[in-house]
Chain A
Amino acid sequence: DVKVTQSSRYLVKRTGEKVFLECVQDMDHENMFWYRQDPGLGLRLIYFSYDVKMKEKGDIPEGYSVSREKKERFSLILESASTNQTSMYLCASSFTPIEQYFGPGTRLTVT
């Protein structure tokens, strides 16, 4: 079975802090994704990576950056956290273009 893990289930940070969310997959997938999910807005793609050190912006990249130094690990970075980044963050991985597998999510609260 594919396993996608995320470093934290719940996280509380202060405005202005630099925040790292980490995602690890164990199936040697080349593609990894970061989404955020908000009530009434559904899932929105923040960033996508199709190989080590390669990345593409999704629909809402502003305020975020990503890092992929190893194939199995994809990090989402909030350079200066703001309250409007309070959300559920979901990581996923896949072989293109087959189904995506999701992690358990990180509920981030920025106060």
Chain B
Amino acid sequence: DTEVTQTPKHLVMGMTNKKSLKCEQHMGHRAMYWYKQKAKKPPELMFVYSYEKLSINESVPSRFSPECPNSSLLNLHLHALQPEDSALYLCASSQGVGGLDGYTFGSGTRLTVV
């Protein structure tokens, strides 16, 4: 299995809702990442998990809450989002965090906040 699987593919949520995005990989990768991508812009890093521990938070608002329950799973919990949070949310993984290997990205969850 050489894929990163993200679910759901599309999500519409209200500003008072709580929802979660899920990311899964079975490549034995020990680093996992969340990125946010607005239309026609490059992906922006949100969080880095290394060996299931949060190692980088790029000053992301607390309405986004990441969780890494085990080495194969990464969740992003969403609460009280704003319409400007509508974007493509990408998950990625890599063997390590040392810059020596490539990332594998999922196809993303397209989130719309209404």
Do A and B come together as binding partners?
no
Task: State the A residues within 8 Å of B (CB).
Answer: none
